[in-house]
Amino acid sequence: MQKYTLPQLPYPYNALEPVISEQIMTLHHTKHHQAYVNGANAALEKIEKASRGELEIDIRAVLRDLSFNLDGHKLHSIFWPNMAPPGKGGGKPGGSIADRLEREFAGFDRFKKLFSDAAKTVEGVGWALLLYDPEADRLVLTQIEKQNLMHLAQLPILLSLDVWEHAYYLQYKNDRASYVDAWWQVVNWDDVEKRFNKAKV
């Protein structure tokens, strides 16, 4: 069975400076994301061995590990391309996602404030996410504490912001709000638009 692998970043580790430092990006990608990949593969291997009767496992603990690590891998795999170097990222979106933000949030500025507030107020560690619900044909703003069981009934993720401390602490210390405010300079709206158009099909 094929294993999960760490995806390559779509830019160099220093490409998001000064918003996110090279040191943070290197550690975040090679250590934290890699750990989620390793953890997901280890949990799946235990489940496979248990399925063949080769291993007795604490199924509750192993499934919790799988949820935590696989969700961490999936979220980070969206987070990286959701960003682009300053000058290529940031600014305001265009296209169909801009039209939808105007319709559902009374404009980009209002959406930006609500999304920022969601990211800043995650209790403990977690994520702020913009999702699309094809059933209701609407955008859904949510926050995820930690990253277990985060799927919200499998709604496609359009935009993700990691507010675990490892995403910003080396540079912003405990000032999550400054990190969130600065992060808007590197949002890759082309990627968000692509995800939105794909989700609507």
Task: Please write the tens of the pLDDT for every residue from 74-109.
Answer: 999 999 999 999 999 999 999 999 999 999 999 999
Provide the residue range defining the domain that includes 142.
95-200
Per-residue pLDDT tens over the stretch 155-195? 999 999 999 999 999 999 999 999 999 999 999 999 999 99
As for how many domains the chain has, the answer is 2
Same domain, 188 and 126: yes
| 100/74 Cα distance (integer angstroms) | 25
CA 129 from centre of chain? 7
Domain co-membership, 45 together with 124: no
CATH number at residue 27: 1.10.287.990
Tell me if 86 is assigned to some domain: no
68 assigned to some structural domain: yes
pTM of the model: 0.94
**Is 67 a domain residue?**
yes
